[in-house]
């Protein structure tokens, strides 16, 4: 096998796919990248038995073939090559020669047949979304994916297609994030995509109207994004009935500027550390929100103006969960709805309901 590629093309491709390379495996080939040269292009593939990423780049192919090269070594080499082009030659013993300018490396490859085949989707259903829309939906929900494996199904986001609408929902037991968009899709369908997969998808998506195709099967999902193909296992289990978890009524309605709220929470959080944890006490009164935080280091208070209707309420929150929600609103003003000191805070856009964040309160001690 022999091919020549542009350094910028192969360096970018390797950088984008190597996150799917397995780091803990009994199959040595999965620690590498499968290279397939043929018909004027080079295909690169990484796979960890749960997530696979494939892409193609233009190549001058003198001799077609396949091999697997160590992802770490190959990545380090192509990033540091001095010339604009990289030439790779692989002999019949899988010894790879990598040349660029005056630099030359020889590394041992692995036979391509030892690289496991990626899953094939059967009976899949195709959904098309603009790249920018899908990027926004993932970005506004993936932060609430559960990190704990106490309930593995919640380590992913639910994609729920129903009556021409798509909900993407994440929940971790302390907060919930939901993003909604109308879609042209005739049937009802739901599946749960692992958070790790969505994090990689997010890196590949652009803020554009270019179409992205999703093919959902029974056990796997496939994303086609530009010249990248991402295939992932789906999570199995019973996802939270998120519609039942959302409070229907509220006793206090607030409209506030997101930047004011973020700045204020960040200021009173300066006394909070991993060792000194304490809830942020939020007092919603007459057109102002007052924040207080007390730890063994001291006490902080701050306030900002807001439009408030309904009953005054004092409620406590984990500062990180509150900041995560506010930072992912992607708008200047939001509606906040409260039903009492022990009910979740509901955060919505000022107009419409394209997103909804729930943050569970922390029980406050009497001061």
**310-330, pLDDT tens digit by residue?**
999 999 999 999 999 999 999
Mean pLDDT of 335-359: 96
Mean pLDDT of 143-163: 95
Position 125 scores a pLDDT of: 85
Instruction: Name the residue ranges covered by the structural domains of the chain.
Output: 2-114, 125-242, 246-359
- In this prediction, residue 365 has a pLDDT band, given cuts at 50, 70 and 90, of confident
Contacts of 113 (CB under 8 A, 6+ apart): none
The residues with which 178 forms a beta bridge, in sequence order, are 169, 356
Position 145 scores a pLDDT of: 98
What mean pLDDT, rounded, does the chain reach?
Answer: 95
For 246-265, the pLDDT digits (tens) are 998 999 999 999 999 999 99
Sheet holding 228-233, edge to edge: 65-70, 32-38, 41-47, 51-58, 228-233, 220-225, 211-216, 125-130
Calpha distance 357→95 (Å, rounded): 54
Q: What is the CATH number of domain 246-359?
A: 3.70.10.10
Phi-psi sector, 293: left (phi>0), alpha (psi -120 to 50), beta = beta
Position 227 scores a pLDDT of: 94
Residue 115 in tokens? 């690289």
- In this prediction, residue 116 has a pLDDT band, given cuts at 50, 70 and 90, of very high
Mean pLDDT of 333-337: 98
**CB burial string 262-290: b at 16+ within 10 A, e below:** bebbeebbebbeeeeebbbbbebeeeebb
Contacts of 313 (CB under 8 A, 6+ apart): 251, 252, 283, 284, 338, 340, 341
Domain 2-114 identical in fold to domain 125-242: yes
For 281-302, the pLDDT digits (tens) are 999 998 999 999 998 889 999 9
The total of other beta-carbon atoms located within 10 Å of residue 247's CB is 14
**CB burial string 149-180: b at 16+ within 10 A, e below:** eeeeebbbbbbbbeeeebbbbbbbebbbbbbb
More confident residue, 45 or 121: 45
Position 150 scores a pLDDT of: 86
Angle between helices 195-204 and 131-139 in degrees, nearest 10:
140
pTM to 2 decimal places: 0.93
Task: With beta carbons less than 8 A apart as the criterion, state whether 28 and 121 touch.
Answer: no
- CATH entry, 125-242, from 3.30.70.1290, 3.10.150.10, 3.40.120.10, 3.80.30.20: 3.10.150.10
User: Which CA distances in Å does 106 have to 88, 100, 359?
Assistant: 10, 12, 54
Of 258, 264, 257, the C-alpha closest to 283 is 264
Phi-psi sector, 335: left (phi>0), alpha (psi -120 to 50), beta = beta
Straight-line distance from the first to the last Cα atom of the chain, in angstroms, rounded to the nearest whole number: 74
Contacts of 193 (CB under 8 A, 6+ apart): 156, 157, 159, 221, 232, 234, 235
pLDDT at 276 over 90: no
Position 3 scores a pLDDT of: 98
Position 236 scores a pLDDT of: 96
Position 308 scores a pLDDT of: 97
- In this prediction, residue 166 has a pLDDT band, given cuts at 50, 70 and 90, of very high
Calpha distance 285→354 (Å, rounded): 27
pLDDT at 189 over 70: yes
Mean pLDDT of 8-27: 94
3-state secondary structure of 65: strand
Mean pLDDT of 107-119: 97
Phi-psi sector, 6: left (phi>0), alpha (psi -120 to 50), beta = beta
CATH class of this structure's domain 2-114: alpha beta
- In this prediction, residue 59 has a pLDDT band, given cuts at 50, 70 and 90, of very high
How open is the CA angle 21-26-32, to the nearest 5 degrees?
30
pLDDT at 367 over 70: no
Residue 58 in tokens? 């233009």
Of 367, 313, 309, the C-alpha closest to 345 is 313
- In this prediction, residue 211 has a pLDDT band, given cuts at 50, 70 and 90, of very high
């Amino acid at each position: 096998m022999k091919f020549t590629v542009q350094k910028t093309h192969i360096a970018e491709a390797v950088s984008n796919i190597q996150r799917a390379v397995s780091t803990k495996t009994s199959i040595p080939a999965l620690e590498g990248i499968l290279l397939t040269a043929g018909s004027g292009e080079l295909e690169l593939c990484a796979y960890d038995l749960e997530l696979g990423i494939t892409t193609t780049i233009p190549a001058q192919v003198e001799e077609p073939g396949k091999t697997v090269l160590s992802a770490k070594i190959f990545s380090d080499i192509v990033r540091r090559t001095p010339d604009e082009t990289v030439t790779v030659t692989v002999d019949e013993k899988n010894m790879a020669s990598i040349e660029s300018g005056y630099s030359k490396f020889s590394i041992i490859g692995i036979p391509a047949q030892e690289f496991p085949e990626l899953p094939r989707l059967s009976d899949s259903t195709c959904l098309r979304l603009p790249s920018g829309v899908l990027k926004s939906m993932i970005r506004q929900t993936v932060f609430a994916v559960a990190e704990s494996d106490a309930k593995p199904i919640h380590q992913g986001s639910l994609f729920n297609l129903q009556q021409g609408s798509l909900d993407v929902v994440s929940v971790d037991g302390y907060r919930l994030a939901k993003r909604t968009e109308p879609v042209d899709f005739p049937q009802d369908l739901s599946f749960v995509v692992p958070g790790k997969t969505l994090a990689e998808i997010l890196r590949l998506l652009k803020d554009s109207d270019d179409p992205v195709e999703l093919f959902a099967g029974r056990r796997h999902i496939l994303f086609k994004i530009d010249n990248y193909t991402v295939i992932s296992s789906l999570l199995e289990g019973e996802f939270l009935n998120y519609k039942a978890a959302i409070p229907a009524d509220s006793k206090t309605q607030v409209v506030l500027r997101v930047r004011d709220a973020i700045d204020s929470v960040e200021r009173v959080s300066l006394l909070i550390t991993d060792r000194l944890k304490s809830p942020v006490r939020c007092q919603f009164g007459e057109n102002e929100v007052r924040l207080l935080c007390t730890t063994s280091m001291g006490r902080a208070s701050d306030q900002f103006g807001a439009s408030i209707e309904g009953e005054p309420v004092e409620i406590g929150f984990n500062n990180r969960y509150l900041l995560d929600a506010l930072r992912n609103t992607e708008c200047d003003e939001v509606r906040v709805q409260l039903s009492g000191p022990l009910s979740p805070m509901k955060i919505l856009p000022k107009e419409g309901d394209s997103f909804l964040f729930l943050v569970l309160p922390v029980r406050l001690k009497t001061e």
